Structures are given as structure tokens and as C-alpha cells.
Structure 1
Amino acid sequence: MEQNRYFLAIDIGASSGRHILGYIKNQKLQLEEIYRFKNGVYNQNNQLCWDLKSLFNEILNGLKKCKEINKIPSTLAIDTWGVDFVLLDKEDKILGETVSYRDSRTNGIPEEIFKTVSKENIYQRTGIQNLVFNTINQLYSIKKNSNILDKASTFLMIPDYFNFLLTGKKVNEYTNASTTQLLNLESSNWDFELLDKLNIPKNIFQPIVPAGTSLGFLKKEIIEEIGFDLEVITAPSHDTASAVLAVPCSKDNFLYLSSGTWSLLGTESKKYNSTLESLKSNFTNEGGYNKTYRYLKNIMGLWIMQNVKKELNDKYSFPELSQMANDFCGEKYIINVNDNEFLAPTSMIEAIKEYCNKKFNHIPNSIEEIVAIIYNSLALSYANTIKEIEKLTSQKFNTLYIIGGGCQDNYLNYLTAKKSGIEVFAGPIEATAIGNLGSQLLNKKYFSSVKEFRSFVLNSFDIKKYK
């Protein structure tokens, strides 16, 4: 690969976004973060919403930064979170607000849907874990409470919308579309029969394209604004799909834990599992790069710790909170980290205290105890999920790869290895951006296979081992 050819990963999460340039130097993938911006939900008409206009302006600001520092990428790709979307009218204007998955508008909606189509039938069709905020529930809520769907002409997931603003091309990328609970497992296309049953208009959905698809070059007005042109490629646009592409393992048989606000623990497979046993265990079959399946479970993850830290006015760093948990010597009660009480509480600390009081007739009386409860509960949840995966896939796993920002937490990595009894490898930290870049590099034939790219990742970044 030629030196100093730049590729740009735009990785937007629930709290921040970054522009990360990737290039090859000394036979290793090098990363350079050149721009960072804030993200978050805001209250609009009593709904939790995203500010997409601001986010797109930040995408352009980061591209202008590339021009400013004279490091012009030849391609870019965008990844974000899953399930959220925009609806456009005939003039391509957004209809209504872009509501966040953390909003309460879907409360009670799954139960209404199941009166028309059973939970079992939806799972056998889509293979997707039943979560209250899934796109299927959001769309049904809109249909029930407004006439917006009647006016809609186009449905785009968040990264699809940004790609459309850049290129004018309307497509739905496979990995993010799979999070909607509206994609058919057999066809890897929209389940139009299911849409009919729910009376959701079929014409608004766009063609499904795989990760790594070229959408062409920038629109003229974008080129004029940022000062250069480049090619836009579809990343595995669900951020977890990008992260999994960067797992530093060339074997077929491995477990991964994408650790961040959410913990997503699973394995990569060429086959899906939509059995009733899998449904009962609440596993999901999300789309992966190259039409693979990410057979995994969503676990609340470091969202709980992030909220505790925020409530303490960021008085303690994450390493300090980790040390508090490590030092705590009392009994460590276990909470169900996936309980809906922890999804969006007014106070996470109070939610944990109330849970422990109801469940154990015990109220944690110190921050040290609260963080110890969180750490031990997360690690045990990971260990139990690994056992479930082994049972459901009839496989035995010896290694777990923890990727993403949460892989920096040495104590949680240690606890996970201890409670699961398998080897844990931690890193790379920037897995999502690396996988995003990988889809661009694979598109340009710099690697002949995913295995070759993953081996390159292993040789490019420091990976820690825990037993």
C-alpha cells in the first residue's frame, strides 16, 4: 500500500463523534484523530431527540479540518448507533423530530404489536432481540399517534441520511437495517409481509446495500463548501458491526465483547439462529460485514457506570472508580444490569439503591459499594452470557476479545476472565473506527479477506491478555 494515502472514519456515538484518519506506515495501521465534537439528546416537545442538523455541520467541519491540515482522504465512511432513523417527505425534508431510542414513546408498544403478529413469529422472521426501542416499535408508535407516516416518502437510518446529504444517494446499509427488526433473515431484504401486517408503508424503504459499497462522490455544493472531493463508502454503519470487523483474531471461532455504553457480547457466524430457545434467551442476529451474522446479546454495559460518574459531577475518574470497586471488601450484591429501571433513570445511584432494597432488603450506603456492585454484576452477566452462547451454538469458546473504549478497564477485564474462566484479550480501543477504515481498505482491495485485515489489526495495535 502506498504511504500516506488517507482514509477517513467518521464515528458518531451517543455522546460524541470523531473524525479519524487512517493510513499505513511501517506496515501498521496508523490512526490520527483530527476532529471531535459533542453529541447528545435534548428535550423537544417532551421527547428526547437528536440534532441532526448540528451533527451534519460537524461532519462538514471535520472535513474542512482535513483540508486545513492538508491531509485529504480519498474515501470516507460513517458509522453511528442503530435503530434510529429519519422520515423524509417528497421534498426530502425531515418529517417531525428525530426521536432517540431512549425516549419513552415506545413503552407498551411491543405488547400492542404482538396482538397482530406474535413475538415468536417476528423473531423467526427477523432474528432480532426484542427490545422496546427497536425501530419496529418506533414506527408503530408513530403510526398510532400521528399521520407522519402518511406523508413519508423515504426511510433512512441515521448514517444512511448523512450519506444521502453527502452524495444524494438513498440506500439502506445492511448492518444498520438489520437492527430495525424489520429485515427478513432468509432474504436479507425488508420483510414486506411483516410491514403489511403492521400497516407500515412499504414504499418508504430503500434498497439494501452491503457494507463496503461505493456510493460515488460528493455533491457539487459539498465540494464547494469543504474544498475537495472524495468517495463515500458504506461502512458497516452500525457501530458494533464496524467494531466486530476489527476483532484482532484470524480464527473463525471466537467471542467478542464490544464494550462501551452498551456491552454487546457474541460470536460471528455464517448462519443465523432464530429458534424459540434463542428467543427465550433474548439473543439477536444482527447483520455483519460480508453478510455474516453477529449472534449476540445486548447488555446495558458501562452506561450504568457513566451515569454514576456523571451524578458525582465527574469528581472521580473511571480508573479511580475502578480502584474503589477493587478495594471494596464487603458483600457484593448482584443486580440485573438489563433491568429497564437502569435504561434512563432520573438518578442511577438511586435506581441501584431502590433495586437492592427491593431485591435484597439492603441499601448500599457508599459509592465504593455501588461501583463494586456494578462491576461484579457486569462481569457475572458476561460470564452467564458466554455460557448461554455456548449452549445455543453447541460450541466451546476459549477466548474472548474485548474491543472498544471499555477494554481499557483492567479491573473489569480481570473480573470477566475470572468469572468466565476463559482467556480475555483486550484491544484495540478504537475498534469501531478501525473496522470502519477496514471496510474502505477492503473496498480498495488492500486486503484480500477479512482474515487478512484482522491479522493486520493484531500486528498494528497492543493487545493485553488476562487469565
Structure 2
Amino acid sequence: MHAMAIDLGATSGRVARVHVDESELRVLDLIRFATPTSDSRGARWDFEELMTLTLDAARQVADHGPIDSVGIDAWGADYGLLERGGSLIGAPFRYRDTRTRGVSRRFDERRTRAITGLMPHDFSTAAQLLTEPKPTLGRTAKLLSIGDLVAYRLTGHAATDCSWASTTQLFDLRTLGWSAELLANVGIHRNAMPQVQPCGTVRGELLPHLCDQLGVAGRTPLVTVAGHDTASAIVATPAGSDDFIYISCGTWALVGVESAERLPAESALGTGFVNELGVDGVSTIHRNAAGLWLLNQCLGRWTDTPADPLLAAAAVLPAGQLVFDSEDPRLFAPEDMPTLIAELTRERSGRGPANRAEMVRAIIDSLVLTFVRAIEDLEAMLGTRGQAIHLVGGGAALPILGRALATAAGRTVLAGPVEASLLGNALLQARALGSVQDTPACRALVSHTQTVHRYEPDQQPNPREDTA
């Protein structure tokens, strides 16, 4: 079958046509675009431009061959509010907007964790809703994630899935439904929350005029996949057993494990670990960490220097010479990322980077320290989870990161696939339509068909080995 996977990230979006059967998983066509913001401060997303870019990319990939189904995943936390009739009430805010600073202090962590499995965050859906004007919430007929807003425009059906719902700080993990208590706390009506569908549900069919616009067959189904991009990425992690550590590293990095059992709220207090939901009700226990956001913000300012030479120059520098706290809250949305990182490095290491290559090396080493600390804390809490670390997402494309992580963690790192969210999205569509049996079969297919780079602990730079 041929799946159209729409994978929307907070930095960039991707639309791909993916061929999936029992022995093949192959991206046939792939279009990328930058995720657009709507004002000079970047406080809001330009959703109308996002729809235009998504439809343009979808039309381009559909021009190359048949499409049997469509699925959409996106980042967590952010949302749009629809009034009666389906119109969007203003452009959706970005989670990095400063309006929510300090809002999480209004939530009791013990109670929040007991209901949702999450620790309070300033950027959560719940925290953002506390900043919405009451008249706006009074007009709201439906709240939808960014990915589900796109799905609504494509099909006319408003729904979501457990993976995204579990990121909102409004979803009760005990009942697998929206929490009346938490909804009342933030001032939104229960009827405004979308139906929560299991992954694999056919949500609806593409609207006839869109089928004509995209050049796809009528009655093309849109499948509810794991709407949170991390949950889709975990499905495409090429692990041979259920006992593995994942680092899904894109704009954010999430360091964690899958578990059949949920993390007790009392055990999680003060740890930074949260309990979200993946496919088939599995728990994803992980800690959020800064990801490639730090590096990409610097590269975006260094427009006169290509990224590849900087990464190559950084790779030959000694590891660990300059580091900073990559979880410093000042890094969440700074005006000037390179200047701030130089300042933080001077605070921690006594001097700042002498050049851009040293700054790249400092970013990589600082991220790795945070990842390793999260792994150590996780294993102290839950026990040893295997000797290999699976690094998926954009971070898997950086040999400097894979090598540094393997050496610092003292264990094998298996890096790839890079497009894990997109592939997980396509695999869940294939599973829904009967081309793939279950999650272990999805992972086996990824392992057999995708290139995964293997890095072993070493005090010196080591060559990259391809396992597939």
C-alpha cells in the first residue's frame, strides 16, 4: 500500500508518499517546508500558510503515484480553537510564547500527576488555556491540536487520539477520558474537547473537492495514527525487544522507555519524568530535554557559514572541554541563542567558545550530558533497560552526537531512522489497512529496511558502522 504521511514539526513539516508491505518500507517522495509563524515575534503559528504548504506538498507527492490513505502527526501542547461553524478563533499561539511564563506554578504537581501522569509545564495545553480570555473560551466549540486541525480541514471530522490527548495535562490516564476537574480548572467546556479515537481508526475520507485538488482517488481514508510525533517515532524504533531506551531527538529530545505499567505518581514526583500514552495503550515514560532547537537556532543566525563544515570542524575537537546546562530556562526562547550559550558556557566552564566550531561542540556535549543524566535517573528509578540506546529523529543524522553519546553513556548507540515520526505514521496507516500486523512487525520492518548507524563507546573518534 501507499501511505501519505504528513509529519508536522515545530521547526519543519514533511509530506511523503511511503510504500509499505510485509517486506518493504520505502519513502518514495518527500517534500519539506519550514513551519510558518504569523508575526515578527513568532508568538503565533500561521495556520493558514501551514495548510497551504501542506496541501502544496501533498499535491506534489500525489502527482508521483497512487495514495491509499493519509495520516497526520504533529508536536504536542499547541492547539487551535474553533467556533461554531468551524472557523478558527485567531492564529494558534506557539508554546514558546512568553505569556505562559510561571503559569505552571498554579497547578499542584501531586494532583496533576495523579490524574494525568504529567508534571505541570508552562507550555502545556492546560497552562496555555489559563491565559486565554474567558470570552474566547466562551466562543469555543472545539479545541483541536495542530495536526488534528489539519485533519479537520481535510475531512470535516474533529477528533484526536490518546497519544496527543495524554500530552495536554487535561487527560485522565485512569479513565482514558478528559478530566472534568481539570477542564473546569482551566475554564473550557467538556463538549469542546474532541473525541479520542484509538490509533488505526478511519477518521473519515478526504473531502471530494480536496481529492480533486490533490489528484487522489475519491473516498481516500484519513487514518488516526499516533498524533503526537514522539509516539509515532517510537513505533518506528528498530528495537528487537520491548526492553529498550529511546531518545527521540528533534526540536525537543525525549529520553525514555516503553512500559506496560504506568509510572506511579509518588515515584515520579520531582524527577521530571512523565507518563504519556503510545500506541495500544502502552505507557511512554520519558523526560523532556532540550534537543536540536539549540543548534538550529545558532545555525539560523550563522547564515554565512554552512552547517556541514561547522559540524565537521566540531567533530575533531576534544569532547567535554566546554559545557553548559542545556536545561537552563533562559534557553527556552532567547532573543540571541549564540550570545546566551556563550554566556552560559562562561558561567559553567570559565570561558566561552573561541569560535563557532567550539560552540557547536559545546552544544553537542551539553546535550549528551543531559541525555546521560536522564538515562541514569531513569534506570535508578525503573531498573536497567538494556545495553543499547536507540537514537531516532533528526539527531540520528549527526555522527558527532551518536559518537559522543556512546562514549559518555558507555554503551552502544543505534542511530536511526532519521524520519522516524514520518515512518511510524506510515506504518500505523499500513497496520490499519492490514498491510502490517502489529507494532513488533512494524519495528522488524524498520530494522530490515532502514539504515541504522552503530556507535560504540570509545575515547577516540570511531568510524561509523552501518547495520542495515
Q: Does 1:17 align with 2:5?
A: no
Q: In angstroms, what is the RMSD of aligned CA positions?
A: 2.0
Deviation at 1:146, TM superposition (A): 4.8
Distance 1:331 1:269, change over 3 A: closer
- 1:185 aligned residue: 173
Q: Secondary structure at the match of 2:131?
A: helix
CA distances 1:280-306 after superposition (whole Å, capped 9, x unpaired)? 111111221111111111111111111
Counterpart amino acid of residue 192 in structure 1: A
Does the CA contact (< 8 Å) of 1:18 and 1:33 recur in 2?
Answer: no
TM-aligned CA deviation for residue 447 of structure 1:
2.2
**Does the 8 Å CA contact 2:35/2:50 hold for their aligned counterparts?**
yes
Query: 1:297-331 CA distances to partner (integer Å, 9 max, x unpaired)?
Result: 111111111111122115032x4333333333496
**Contact residue 172 and residue 208 of structure 1 kept, 8 A:** yes
Select the residue among 64, 76, 80 that pairs with 1:82.
Answer: 76
Q: 1:190 deviation in Å?
A: 0.8
Displacement of 1:274 after TM fit?
A: 3.7
**Normalised by the size of structure 1, how large is the TM-score?**
0.92
Residue by residue over 1:176-221, the C-alpha shift from the partner in whole angstroms, topping out at 9 and shown as x without a partner, is 1111111111112111122223433222112211222111212233
Aligned letter for 2:199? Answer: A
Alignment counterpart, residue 312 of structure 1, candidates 288, 302, 313: 302
The answer to whether structure 1 residue 296 and structure 2 residue 286 are counterparts is: yes
CA contact (8 A) 2:237 2:443 kept: yes
* Rounded Cα–Cα distance in structure 2 between residues aligned with 1:391 and 1:202: 39
In 1, distance between residues paired with 2:240 and 2:178? Answer: 32
Aligned to 1:137: 127
CA–CA distance in structure 1, aligned partners of residues 183 and 128 of structure 2: 13
Identity %: 28
Equivalent-residue separation in structure 2 for 1:121 and 1:418 (angstroms): 39
Q: Shift of the alpha carbon at 1:24?
A: 4.1
1:3-48 C-alpha deviation (Å, 9 max, x unpaired): xx3111011112322221111479321112243333132327x661
Answer yes or no: is 1:431 the counterpart of 2:420.
yes
8 Å CA contact 1:258, 1:402 repeated in 2: yes
Residue number in structure 2 paired with 1:100:
94
Q: What is the CA–CA distance in structure 2 between the aligned matches of 1:314 and 1:279, rounded to whole Å?
A: 45
| CA shift digits 1:79-105 (9 cap, x unpaired) | 111111111111211112211111111
Deviation at 1:448, TM superposition (A): 2.1
- Asked if structure 2 preserves the Cα contact closer than 8 Å seen for 1:110 and 1:132, the reply is yes
1:129/1:33 CA distance change after superposition, 3 Å: farther
Query: Which residue type is aligned with residue 276 of structure 2?
Result: E
Check 1:453–1:331 CA distance in 2 against 1; reply closer, same or farther (3 A cut). closer
Which amino acid counterpart does residue 70 of structure 2 have in structure 1? L
Matched, 1:195 2:200: no
Structure 1 window deviating more from structure 2 (355-364 vs 280-289): it is 355-364
CA–CA distance in structure 1, aligned partners of residues 403 and 42 of structure 2: 39
Alignment of 1:23-422 (within 5 A): 23-24=19-20, 27-43=23-39, 48-69=43-64, 71-111=65-105, 113-114=106-107, 118-142=108-132, 145-227=133-215, 228-229=217-218, 230-313=220-303, 315-317=305-307, 319-329=308-318, 332-422=321-411
For residues 253-298 of structure 1, the C-alpha deviation after alignment (integer angstroms, 9 at most, x for no partner) is: 0011112221111111122114334231111112211111111111
Query: What secondary structure is seen at the aligned counterpart in 2 of 1:257?
Result: strand
Where 2:291 maps in the other structure, the secondary structure is coil
Counterpart of 2:449?
Answer: 460
SS state at 1:216 partner: strand
TM-score (norm 2): 0.92
SS of alignment partner, residue 163 of structure 2: helix
Partner secondary structure for residue 68 of structure 2: strand
Q: Which amino acid aligns with 2:294?
A: I
Quickly say closer, same or farther: Cα 1:271–1:204, change in 2 above 3 A.
same
Partner of 2:246, secondary structure, is strand
| SS of residue matched to 1:93 | coil
| Cα distance in structure 2, aligned partners of 1:256 and 1:351 | 29
- Using the alignment, how far apart are the partners of 2:418 and 2:118 within structure 1? 27
The CA deviation at 1:359 is 4.1
4+ residue runs of structure 1 moved beyond 6 angstroms? none
In 1, Cα distance between equivalents of 2:42 and 2:334: 15
Distance 1:204 1:432 in 2: 28
CA distance in 1, matches of 2:33, 2:140: 30
**Partners of 2:413 and 2:347 in 1: how far apart?**
34
Greater CA drift, 282-291 or 26-35: 26-35
Shift in alpha-carbon separation, 1:444–1:346, aligned structure 2, 3 A:
same
The Cα shift of 1:384 comes to 1.0
Report how many residues are paired: 454
1:121-173 Cα shifts (integer Å, max 9, x gaps): 1122111243211101000111xx45200111111111111111111111122
Report if the CA contact (8 A) 2:20-2:430 is conserved. no
**Counterpart Cα distance in 2 of 1:243 and 1:26:** 19
Task: Write the distance in 1 (CA, Å) between the matches of 2:75 and 2:192.
Answer: 21
